Amino acid sequence: MMGSDTRFLLILALPFLAAALAPILFRRLPAIAAAGLALFPAAAFAILLSALAPVAGGTAILAGFNWIPELGIHFSVRLDGLSLVFALLITGIGTLIVLYAGAYLGQHRDRGRFFAFILLFMGAMLGLVLADDLATLFVFWEMTSVTSFLLIGFDHEREAARRAAIQALAITGGGGLALLAGFLTIREVAGLGSMTQILASGEALRMTAAYPAILILVLCGAFTKSAQMPFHVWLPNAMEAPTPVSAYLHSATMVKAGVYLLLRLNPALGGTALWETILPAFGSVTLVGGALLALRASDLKMVLAYTTVASLGLLVMLIGAGSQEAVAAAVLYLIAHSLFKGGLFMVAGSIDHGAGTRDIERLGGLRAAMPLTFAAALLCALSMGGVTPLVGFLAKETIYHALVEGDAASALLLIAAVAGNALMFAAAFLVALAPFVGDRPGAIAHPHEGPPALWLAPLVLGGLGLAAGLFAPAFHAAFSVPMASSAAGRPVAIDIGIAPHINLPFALSLATIAIGIVLYLTASRLRRALVRGLEAIGWGPDRGFDQMMRGLLRGAFGITRILQNGRLDIYITVTFTVIALAVWLPMTLTGTLPAVPVMPHLRFYEWMVLALILIGIFAVVRAKNRLTAIVSLGIQGFAVALLFMLLGAPDLSFTQFMVETLSVVVLALVMTRLRLSPSDHRPWREMLPDVALAVAGGAGIGLFLLRLTQRPFDNALSDFFTAYSRTIAHGRNIVNVIIVDFRGVDTMGEIAVVMTTGLAILALIGIRVIRRDGAPAAVSPAAPAAGEARP
C-alpha cells in the first residue's frame, strides 16, 4: 500500500529554515534563540508522529517532484517503518540536542555559526533517511559529510580539530564516491532509480553479474560512514568537536547512516553468501576491537566514542547474520543505542561542564553535587548494559536469541557478541558510575549541576529508554515492528518483553553482566595493559592516515615537479614531439603516406617567390646579428605576401604586406633596446636532438599536407559562399563578405581578441619594473602615459 502526502516533503525544509535563521536569531534575541530554534525540529517531530498510525499499518508514504527530468532524476521521499523511526530519532534527539547545546555553549562567540551548522546537518540527515530517489539520497549523503566536516572542525583554530575534520571528510567523502559509483551501477545494469523501485525489484539485483561490484561499492559507502574497522579512525578523532556534536552525530545520526543504508538495502542486496560473509566479518572485528579500545581510553568521550564503534560493529554483524530475528535485534539495538548513547554523551558533557575535566582517572565523588546528572547517567548505562527493565535489555535478549539458533558460524558471532557486550558493560559504568562514586579528588573544586537543559536532556533520553522497556508491547507495535518489517522486506513479529525467561539467552545475559562487572573492577589495570600493548605495536590506522596524506602530498609534489619542471625548452620539446607523433603515427600505421608527387610545373617567377621564402627563413636561422635577422624575417614575410598575390588572394597579400611592415618596425623598436644577440649558442650535442625533432615535425607536417591535397576536396562550403555572396549579401568581394557577414560572429570574437592584446600590451608597458635585486630599473618617463594620453 502506498500513500502520498506533501507535508512530509515540507518537514525537510524546517531544519534548513532554522539553519538560515540561527545566526540572525543569536544576534537579535540571544536569550531565547536556542529554545526558538528547537521549535523547528520539534514541529517536524510532531508532524512525523502523525504518520505513525498509517505507517504501522504497512503504508509507505511517497512524495516528490521532478528534479532533473532529462536524466530521470526526482526529488522524492519515502516514509515507511524504517525511515519513520530514523526520522523520529533525528528530529526528537535533535530537539534535545539544540536545547542542550544552547546551555552547553553559553555565551560562545560563534554560537550562531554552530547552530547553523548543526541544523544544516540535521536537515541533511533527515533528507538522507527520507530520500527515495537514489540521486536525492546521494546528495544528502554527501551533505552530511560536508556538514559534519564543518561541525568537527568547528574549533578550527586548533590543529587537532582541523585534522579530525579533514580525516572525517576524506574517509566518509571517499566512501560517498564509492556509493555514488554503486548507485550508478544499479541504475545502469538494472534500471532502478529509487528505493521504492529497488525494494519492488525482488531478486533483480542479486541476479545481475554486477552484484559483487554493486555490493562492494555500497559497502564502501556504508562502512566508512558507519566507522567499521579499519575506517573507524575518524570517529574517535571527531571527539574534537564540541560535546553536543558528538552526542548527536555519534548516537542517532551520522554514524547510523551506513547502518540505515544496509537495513534499507537488505531486502534487495542481502541474503547472499557474500553479504553474510563480509558483514559479520567486519562487524564482529569492529565490535570486539572497538570495545577493547574503549577500555584503553581514559577520556569519557573517548570511551564513549570507541563503544560507539563497537555498537556499530554489532549492528553490522547482526544485519549480516541474515535471519529475520537478527534484523529485529538490530532494529531494537539501534533504537536503544540512539537513546542511551545520546544520553551518555550529554552526561559526559555535563560532567565536563560541572567538574572541569573528562579524565576518568581524575574524576570521582560527584554524586552529591550532580544527583540529577547521576540519575540520567545510571538510566542510560543500565540500558547500555542490558539490564531489565530498560530497552537495552530487550535488545540484548533478542540478539542472543537470534544468534543462539544459528549454525557453527553464528556460534563465533555469539562469542563476539558476549565479549563485546561485556566490555561495553564495563565501559558504560566507567562513564556513568565511576565519576560519581568514591572520594572526590581535591582538584575538582566546585562541582555543580549545570543549567536545566544540561541534565534534563539526558534524563529525558534515559527516561524514554525506561518507558520503551516498561511498555514493550506498545513500543514494538508503534516502532520496532514496522521498522524491522521494512528492513527485512516482510512482516516481522517481535514479542520480547522485560520479564526474563530462564533459557540460554538469559544465561548469556547473566554471564555478560558478570564478566562486565569483573572488567569494571579491573579497569585501570586493564587500561594500562592495553596502553602498553598498543605502544608495543606502535602503528594503527590513525597513523596510517597521516602517512597516507603525507604520501599523497609528496606524490603530488613529485608529479608536479616532473610535469611542471619550469623548463620552457622541455615543455616545447614535449609539445612538438606529440605533434610530430600525431601526424606521423596515423600515416605510417594505416599506410596512408602520400604518393610521390610529380615535379610541379611552375612559372619562373613562382619558383623565384618560393625560393625567396626559403632563403628568408634560412637567413633568419643563420643570422649573426639583429639587423640581419629582422631583415631576413621581413624578406620571407614579403615573399609570402607575394605568394598570396600570385595565388589569387589580393586581400591576404595586402594584409600580409602591412603586417610584415609593422612587424619589422615593432621588432626594430624593441630589439634595439634589448641588446641581445639573436645568434645561437647551442653546443652540438644539444643541437642534434633539436634538429632531429625539427626535421621530424617539419617533414611530418609537409607530408600530412601533401596527403591532404591528394585527396578529393569537398567544396560545399565555399560553393555556398560563392553562390550567395552577391545574391543575398550584396557583396562582390567574397572574402570580405565571409568576414563581415557570413561569419560575422567569428570576426567579432577576433576583433575582441585584437583589442584585448592591445590592452594587455599597454598594461605590460605601464607596469613599473622592479628589478629582482630590489633596485627599480630605469623606465622611461613616458611609460605610464597609457591612461593619461587624452589631450
Write out the binding residues for another protein, residues 617-656 only, by CB under 8 A: 617-618, 620-621, 629, 633, 636-637, 640, 643-644, 646-652, 654-656
615 binding another protein? (CB under 8 A): no
681 binding another protein? (CB under 8 A): yes
Question: For 107, phi and psi rounded to 5 degrees?
Answer: -100, 30
Nearest by Cα to 456 from 114, 95, 151: 95
By DSSP bridging, strand 60-68 and strand 73-79 are antiparallel
Give me the least distance between CB of 617 and another protein, in Å please.
5
Nearer to another protein by C-beta: 32 or 692? Answer: 692
- Cβ contacts of residue 685 below 8 Å, gap of 6+? none
Stretch that binds another protein, among 40-48, 75-83, 435-443, 612-620 (CB under 8 A): 612-620
Query: C-alpha cell of 161?
Result: 580539530
First to last CA, the chain: 83
DSSP 521-587: HTHHHHHHHHHHHHHHH---HHHHHHHHHHHHHHHHHHHHHHHT-S-HHHHHHHHHHHHHHHHHHHH
665 binding another protein? (CB under 8 A): yes
Residue located via cell numbers 574524576: 363
533 binding another protein? (CB under 8 A): no
Burial of 454 (0-12, 13-18, 19+ CB in 10 A): buried
Site for another protein in 148-177 (CB under 8 A): 159, 162-163, 166
Nearer to another protein by C-beta: 419 or 740? Answer: 740
Give the CA distances from residue 100 to residues 37, 515, 592, in Å, rounded to whole numbers and listed in that order. Answer: 12, 34, 78
From candidates 209, 732, 774, 775, binder to another protein by CB under 8 A: 732
- Cβ contacts of residue 203 below 8 Å, gap of 6+? none
From candidates 110, 299, 449, 690, binder to another protein by CB under 8 A: 690
Give me the least distance between CB of 694 and another protein, in Å please.
4
From candidates 65, 471, 557, 605, binder to another protein by CB under 8 A: 557
Stretch that binds another protein, among 57-65, 407-415, 478-486, 783-791 (CB under 8 A): 783-791
Give me the least distance between CB of 204 and another protein, in Å please.
45
Query: C-alpha cell of 578?
Result: 606529440
Give the CA distances from residue 516 to residues 290, 313, 387, 426, 513, in Å, rounded to whole numbers and listed in that order. Answer: 15, 19, 12, 5, 5
Give me the least distance between CB of 174 and another protein, in Å please.
17
13 binding another protein? (CB under 8 A): no
- Cβ contacts of residue 91 below 8 Å, gap of 6+? 11, 41, 42, 44, 45, 48, 122, 126
Applying CB under 8 A, the site for another protein has a residue count of 140
Nearer to another protein by C-beta: 28 or 771? Answer: 771
274 binding another protein? (CB under 8 A): no
3-state secondary structure 618-651: HHHHHCCCHHHHHHHHHHHHHHHHHHHHHCCCHH
Q: What is residue 698's three-state secondary structure?
A: helix
Query: C-alpha cell of 618?
Result: 634560412
Residue located via cell numbers 550529554: 346
Nearer to another protein by C-beta: 222 or 639? Answer: 639
Stretch that binds another protein, among 4-12, 118-126, 416-424, 663-671 (CB under 8 A): 663-671
Question: For 363, phi and psi rounded to 5 degrees?
Answer: -110, 155
Taking residue 178's Cβ as centre, other Cβ atoms within 10 Å add up to 18
Nearer to another protein by C-beta: 510 or 759? Answer: 759
776 binding another protein? (CB under 8 A): no
Give me the least distance between CB of 618 and another protein, in Å please.
7
Nearer to another protein by C-beta: 521 or 552? Answer: 552
From candidates 404, 498, 517, 706, binder to another protein by CB under 8 A: 706
From candidates 10, 68, 529, 723, binder to another protein by CB under 8 A: 723
563 binding another protein? (CB under 8 A): no
Question: For 80, phi and psi rounded to 5 degrees?
Answer: -130, -170
From candidates 29, 627, 674, 688, binder to another protein by CB under 8 A: 674
714 binding another protein? (CB under 8 A): no
Stretch that binds another protein, among 40-48, 105-113, 536-544, 669-677 (CB under 8 A): 669-677
Give me the least distance between CB of 117 and another protein, in Å please.
19
- Cβ contacts of residue 650 below 8 Å, gap of 6+? 644
Question: Does residue 427 contact residue 294 with C-beta atoms inside 8 Å?
Answer: yes
From candidates 548, 627, 670, 688, binder to another protein by CB under 8 A: 670
239 binding another protein? (CB under 8 A): no
Nearer to another protein by C-beta: 419 or 696? Answer: 696
Question: Does residue 472 contact residue 74 with C-beta atoms inside 8 Å?
Answer: no
671 binding another protein? (CB under 8 A): yes
Give me the least distance between CB of 537 and another protein, in Å please.
24
Residue located via cell numbers 548527536: 248
578 binding another protein? (CB under 8 A): no
Nearer to another protein by C-beta: 47 or 740? Answer: 740
Question: Does residue 168 contact residue 237 with C-beta atoms inside 8 Å?
Answer: yes
Q: What is residue 193's three-state secondary structure?
A: coil
Stretch that binds another protein, among 347-355, 378-386, 406-414, 701-709 (CB under 8 A): 701-709
How far is C-alpha 62 from the geometric centre of its chain's CA atoms? 28
Alpha-carbon dihedral sign for residues 316, 218, 177, 124: negative
Rounded Cα–Cα distance for residues 476 and 483 (Å): 9
Strand order in the sheet with 60-68: 2-4, 60-68, 73-79
182 binding another protein? (CB under 8 A): no
Give me the least distance between CB of 609 and another protein, in Å please.
10
Please name the helix (run of DSSP H) or strand (run of DSSP E) that holds residue 64, with its range, or none. Answer: strand 60-68
Site string for another protein, 474-503 (x = CB under 8 A): ------------------------------
Rounded Cα–Cα distance for residues 564 and 459 (Å): 61
From candidates 1, 537, 752, 775, binder to another protein by CB under 8 A: 752
From candidates 79, 346, 444, 738, binder to another protein by CB under 8 A: 738
678 binding another protein? (CB under 8 A): yes
Nearer to another protein by C-beta: 47 or 613? Answer: 613
Nearer to another protein by C-beta: 519 or 643? Answer: 643
Give me the least distance between CB of 664 and another protein, in Å please.
10
Stretch that binds another protein, among 24-32, 52-60, 196-204, 707-715 (CB under 8 A): 707-715
Q: What is residue 436's three-state secondary structure?
A: coil
